[in-house]
Structure 1
Amino acid sequence: MERVNQILKHPVFLREQERIRTFEKERIYCGHRSEHLLDVARIGWIMILEEKLTIEKPIFYAAALLHDIGRAIQYETGEAHQLAGIPLARQVLKDCGYEKEEQENILEAVRMHRTYPVNEKNLAGVLYRADKKSRACYCCESEPLCNWSVQKKNLNLQY
């Protein structure tokens, strides 16, 4: 987990987390700060273990930590965060010692985390599912105001 801890301390990651925190200061709905990223990482890791998948922990955690890194850019420019974050994530992964093939797999998962087929058993599929399951709608005060459909909301604890 050494490389994962390097991500958590990387200046670009820290800067973007602070920018997201600033943009979401008044947000009443689910946020995209480090708590969400760690929820995604831990839920996804549970899925990987339960489904006996062969995804390495540092690879999944990197994808989970970086999947929303473009969120502040989206707030500023309107560009989709899953695309806006790719150059930032690439730099962080490179600086933290991820191999080229690992980087490409992680970046593909980041790129696809909003649209990937839910039943896929690969890195992108688990990231997609964990991201959606990380939302605690069952105990959220803003749930009645949320624009997520009832079918999409997590009204029962699963992970």
Structure 2
Amino acid sequence: MTVTNRIAANELFLQCVEKNSKYEENRQFCKHGWEHLMDVARIAYIINLERGYGLERDLVYAAGLLHDCGRYVELEQETPHEKVGARLAKRILRECDCPETWISQIGQAILEHRKGRATSELGDLLFEADKRSRPCFRCEAEAECNWKSSQKNQKIKY
């Protein structure tokens, strides 16, 4: 079984996804559930192929699934979700018998996924895929969104 599939079946990961969904059930835009996580994983892998980074598909998908696992904590405690998410991801990855090199890479990428100036290729992929996954041009709540206009996806980008 792949690391990605072990993550998808991991109890702590499933709790994180469920808590994210519960906190965002009344949110009108930019939810952080399964659809977003899978979109980020897929888009990150496509960018990986286009740029010739050569990162393994399972590594990229694992990072995509885990990148927002700390989101609910940010909503509960106002703690940046990338910081708590990196810690949660490392725990989940260890429970999933993930290689230590991947644990380190994914943890770093999660820390970098909101910055825009990632120091790792995986962090760069997560940042860009996270932003590209948002169809702002079709969002009914776009006017209420707190993203700057320059950050919003007003067109399909590929």
The TM-score with structure 1 as length reference comes to 0.94
Is it true that 1:129 corresponds to 2:128 in the alignment? yes
Q: Unaligned 5+ residue runs, structure 1?
A: none
Matches of 1:98 and 1:121, distance apart in 2? 19
| Residue matched to 1:49 | 49
Deviation at 1:87, TM superposition (A): 2.3
1:6 corresponds to 2:6: yes
Q: Which runs of 4+ in 1 moved over 4 A?
A: none
**Percent identical residues:** 37
Q: What letter is aligned with 2:136?
A: C
CA RMSD, aligned part only? 1.5
Query: What is the Cα deviation at residue 3 of structure 1?
Result: 1.3
**1:31 to partner: Cα distance:** 0.5
Q: How does 1:14-25 map to 2 (within 5 A)?
A: 14-25=14-25
Structure 2 unaligned residues grouped into runs of 5+:
none
Q: Secondary structure at the match of 1:85?
A: helix
Residue identity opposite 2:46 in structure 1: I
Partner of 1:90: 90
Q: Check conservation: 1:53, 1:121, Cα contact below 8 A.
A: no
Mapped to 2, the partners of 1:127 and 1:86 lie a distance apart of 13
Contact 1:41 1:60 in 2 (8 A): yes
| Residue in structure 2 matched with residue 139 of structure 1 by the alignment | 138
Aligned equivalents of 1:121, 1:69: Cα separation in 2: 20
Describe the superposition over 1:56-79 as per-residue Cα deviations: whole angstroms up to 9, x where unpaired.
Answer: 111111111111101111111111
Residue 26, structure 1, aligned to residue 23, structure 2: no
How far residue 86 of structure 1 moved from its aligned partner, in angstroms, is: 2.2
- The TM-score normalised by the length of structure 2 is 0.94
Q: How many residues align?
A: 158
State the 1:121 CA deviation: 6.9
Amino acid at match of 1:87: R
Contact 2:87–2:107, Cα closer than 8 Å, also in 1: no
Aligned residue for 2:112? 112
